[in-house]
Structure 1
Amino acid sequence: MLNSEIQKNLRHNFTVNVIESGFFGFGSGFASFFTILPLFVSTLTDSALLIGLIPAIPRLGWQLPQLLTASKVARLQCYKPTVMLLTIHQKLPFLGLALVALLQLKFNHQTILLLTFAILIWQGLGGGFSATAWQSMVAKIVPSKKLGIFYGTLSASGNLMSVCGAAIAGLLLKEIAQPFNFALCFLCASFAMALSWFFMSKTREPVSITPSAFESRREFWDSLIVILRSDENFRCFVIARMISQLALMPLPFYTLYAVHQYGMGEASIGFITTLLMLTQTIAGLVLGWLGDRTGCKLILQIGCVACAFSSVLACLASNTNWFYLVFIAEGIGMIALQNIAAVMTLEFGNQHQRPAYIGLGNTLIAPASILAPLLGGWIVENIDYKTTFLVAAIGALVTALLLQVGVSNPRYLEQNFSNDSVNVLPE
């Protein structure tokens, strides 16, 4: 009954969520954590540390809170109402940024800077608190063998629309006086986010008729210990994802190295950025489709090899032309080790166990995702760029090896737990 309803609504859910992702990407282009927001903050402070923290806020905000909400999500029979409520805190902050930009006319830079970072943290945590319910909903409404192409299409839609949003934002910043230019960009972002929320609300999720496996919060937290002790496959997967953060570490340093070592100009940087976005768009679709057919493990290993190739190529580069291949390979690796890894996380456990797996699989890697770029920066400052790239390559190859010897595709396993844990987490 449930499966037939899921199949009946699959095309509708696929369509509305792709449109939702497109509007989310469009809004993100107007308030990019990599370009627009750092530029806005640079008008308030010269601190490179504060500006450098901006891209890390949404990543840490997405990962850290997921385990905190997993207990409640695990006891839900319908995820959508929780998603719709919590994701408001991911989308509404952009309207707050528009108001803060206008407040520059009345308050000093220190006050505006404090308000800006408070709103960015709110936005980041908003994404994290809604993430477990959203991923659980996706895993429920999309069959496992179609999750790869689903995530790939979402990524492609978001990336393409983000480029459009960023292009329009560039024109607004150029033609309109400050601070009205930033305020208008953030206002456009909030409008796009409202449309994103509207299309997400059109998702059709059937209500589960089976009771939750967990009757209390204590029972849920006890289950986490069972998962980590009993499910060796998942444990190795999480460790592999932790190490994989080293493989993703060098991306921001590639550009700095190309500029400092070979004098790469602004035009080349712009072209390489566009090339990276296009690579991620195409790779998302191709790797998602391939992952649905071969299993996600192989795609993660392909991503590891791509990251290692990218790092080694950067070490061997003799001019700026080499960096086109460097960024193409890194773009493939990023999609595999981020998007496809997220898909694979959804394949562990059954529907009721899944929020626990999602929470563990994301929260546990949060420290590594923050420490890896800090390590890379320390190596650059105290040794050199090439050592950073070599450490990244080693991290990528170690991840691939661990995936090979310690991880199996969970969708092909008959069960995820040993018999002595069945009484705690019924299959």
Structure 2
Amino acid sequence: MSKISKFHLIDPAKSPIFYGYIILIIGTIGIYCSIPGQTIGVSVFTDPVKDALGLSRNQFSNAYMIGTIISSLVIGKAGIWFDKYGARYVAFFAALGLGFTLFLCSWSAKMSDFIKEVLSMDTWMIPFLLMTVLFFMLRFAGQGVLTMASRNVIMIWFDKNRGKVNSVSSVALSFGFSSSPLWINALIEDYGWAHSWQILGYGLLVFSFFVFFLYKISPESHGLLPDGAKSISSTEETKKVMPKQFTLTEAKETRAFWMYGLTLAFNSFFITGLTFHVVSIFANEGFSKEVAISIFLPGSVVAVTVSTIFNFLSDYLSLKLYLYLMLFGGFLASLGFLFLSTSAGVPMLVAGFGILGGFFAVLNAVAWPRFFGRKHLGSITGKIMSFLILASALAPSIFSLCLSTFGSYRLVGYLGLGFLLFLTIAATKANNPQ
């Protein structure tokens, strides 16, 4: 990363302000542009697309699950690309790929009919397999590569102020993501699902050129220092201890890698399962659809508050404290899930998943460069991303299986408590490897 780049159209060294702030803005927009590949962006298209393809809800959900699982198995490769080629090229091709995939999704019904006609077969397997492939492409390019590259490039440009800038990014993304179903739904109502995917695709294609011109891999590659520092004084240089730059193999040998990674994966599993089945979960305990949906606003307020405060403080506090606070949020959410029908159940659940989401936004961005350095950040976060994607893929089916097998979702709560207890004990030695 220290090698100074000689080939660039926009020179960060000549920027009137520290270029890291431009990276903060464009990187945050990059994560926001991944919404069409995120669950929150895909879910709005579920009903019109499955009906157009002639798929049942279970068939459509299973195609989504399989595509997501396959994505989780190969996302680690994108992390290696990030380390080798840099954020600029990886994010550029991810944005292009996501835009191209959205156009393919918009033509999915026509492609399905064409394949059926060519093969002289009228079976649900054709649209099912087609959507499995398209979901893989959506999840890999959107939730996986574009998100990872955009988040990493922000973290690379900052060191001492990493938590503060992540606080700004997290707040913007929290409001952006939470409002996205509203404007996507409005888009579908005005233009239809096919044209809506095409409009989003055009947006990604335009954004890819901003990525190509504005994303820069590191301050050192342009003769700058993280956080916009002008120089390192001789006193600071004497005190400074260069952090060890862990490879993925070395990182996986530390307990911190697994404990933090599995805790983040629990968040992905629980929140995805809860979001996917929230109406059914609450109906099973005697609540209306309105009550079920109403939990997300206060939960988002808790998450934004937690992430804002603790992102800022993360530059000064131990992340192990954050890990245990996140585990506490998991316990609170699981207990609220189990005792949902009681007066304390809903408040506990809201507070718990809000705390989980808030600390997820902090640890998933700040922990990895602090623990393992920046040189191999792509391969390390790529592996962690595979945990998160796999957990989110399995959650809807496991929640559904608990209901169909035992007539209740409560087993998920007990399993969650057991897993969190294991993490709580095992994480006692999950210290910063540095």
Question: Alpha carbons of 1:409 and 1:304: their partners in 2 closer, same or farther (altered >3 Å)?
Answer: same
Residues 28 and 162, structure 1, Cα contact 8 Å, conserved in 2: no
Deviations 1:226-275 (A, max 9, x none): 4434x34435444555666665575245532211221413x334433444
Classify the secondary structure of the residue corresponding to 2:370.
coil
Deviations 1:53-103 (A, max 9, x none): 466467646643233244444344x43223312332233311222233566
Q: Do residues 65 (structure 1) and 89 (structure 2) align? A: no
Among 108, 115, 131, the residue aligned to 1:116: 131
Structure 2 counterpart of 1:189? 200
Q: How does 1:10-409 map to 2 (within 5 A)?
A: 10-25=20-35, 32-53=41-62, 56=65, 60=69, 63-76=72-85, 78-100=86-108, 110=124, 111-127=126-142, 128-129=144-145, 133-143=149-159, 145-174=160-189, 181-201=192-212, 202-206=214-218, 224-229=248-253, 231-238=254-261, 240-241=263-264, 248=271, 251=274, 252-265=276-289, 267-318=290-341, 322-323=345-346, 325-337=348-360, 340-363=363-386, 367=390, 370-371=393-394, 374-383=397-406, 384-403=408-427, 405-409=428-432
Please report how far the alpha carbon of residue 181 of structure 1 lies from its aligned counterpart in structure 2 after TM superposition: 1.0
Question: Alpha carbons of 1:149 and 1:36: their partners in 2 closer, same or farther (altered >3 Å)?
Answer: farther
Classify the secondary structure of the residue corresponding to 1:142.
coil
Q: How does 1:409-424 map to 2 (within 5 A)?
A: 409-410=432-433, 413=434
Question: Alpha carbons of 1:300 and 1:250: their partners in 2 closer, same or farther (altered >3 Å)?
Answer: farther
Deviations 1:5-47 (A, max 9, x none): 699212222222234444544x569982233235522443453
Which whole-Å CA distance do the structure 2 matches of 1:339 and 1:62 have between them? 24
Classify the secondary structure of the residue corresponding to 1:318.
coil
Please report how far the alpha carbon of residue 312 of structure 1 lies from its aligned counterpart in structure 2 after TM superposition: 0.9
Which whole-Å CA distance do the structure 2 matches of 1:386 and 1:349 have between them? 38
Please report how far the alpha carbon of residue 186 of structure 1 lies from its aligned counterpart in structure 2 after TM superposition: 1.2
Matched letter for residue 92 of structure 2: M
Which whole-Å CA distance do the structure 2 matches of 1:172 and 1:132 have between them? 27
Which whole-Å CA distance do the structure 2 matches of 1:343 and 1:55 have between them? 30
Matched letter for residue 327 of structure 1: V
Matched letter for residue 261 of structure 1: E
Structure 1 counterpart of 2:18? 8
Which whole-Å CA distance do the structure 1 matches of 2:182 and 2:411 have between them? 35
Which whole-Å CA distance do the structure 2 matches of 1:227 and 1:56 have between them? 29
Residues 21 and 157, structure 1, Cα contact 8 Å, conserved in 2: no
Deviations 1:336-356 (A, max 9, x none): 246623431233323323334
Question: Alpha carbons of 1:12 and 1:163: their partners in 2 closer, same or farther (altered >3 Å)?
Answer: same
Residues 79 and 133, structure 1, Cα contact 8 Å, conserved in 2: yes
Q: Out of 4-13 and 83-92, give the one that drifted further.
A: 4-13
Normalised to the residue count of structure 2, the TM-score between the two structures is 0.73
Residues 21 and 155, structure 1, Cα contact 8 Å, conserved in 2: no
Please report how far the alpha carbon of residue 138 of structure 1 lies from its aligned counterpart in structure 2 after TM superposition: 3.2
Q: Give the count of matched residue pairs.
A: 390
Q: Out of 386-395 and 27-36, give the one that drifted further.
A: 27-36
Identity across matched positions, percent: 12
After superposition, the CA RMSD in angstroms is 4.0
Residues 246 and 395, structure 1, Cα contact 8 Å, conserved in 2: no
Which whole-Å CA distance do the structure 2 matches of 1:34 and 1:188 have between them? 17
Matched letter for residue 341 of structure 2: S
Please report how far the alpha carbon of residue 376 of structure 1 lies from its aligned counterpart in structure 2 after TM superposition: 3.9
Deviations 1:311-366 (A, max 9, x none): 21232233699535523421331342466234312333233233342234333565
Structure 1, unpaired ranges of 5+: 211-221, 414-427
Matched letter for residue 136 of structure 2: I
Residues 20 and 199, structure 1, Cα contact 8 Å, conserved in 2: no
Classify the secondary structure of the residue corresponding to 2:316.
helix
Matched letter for residue 284 of structure 2: H
Which whole-Å CA distance do the structure 1 matches of 2:112 and 2:71 have between them? 29
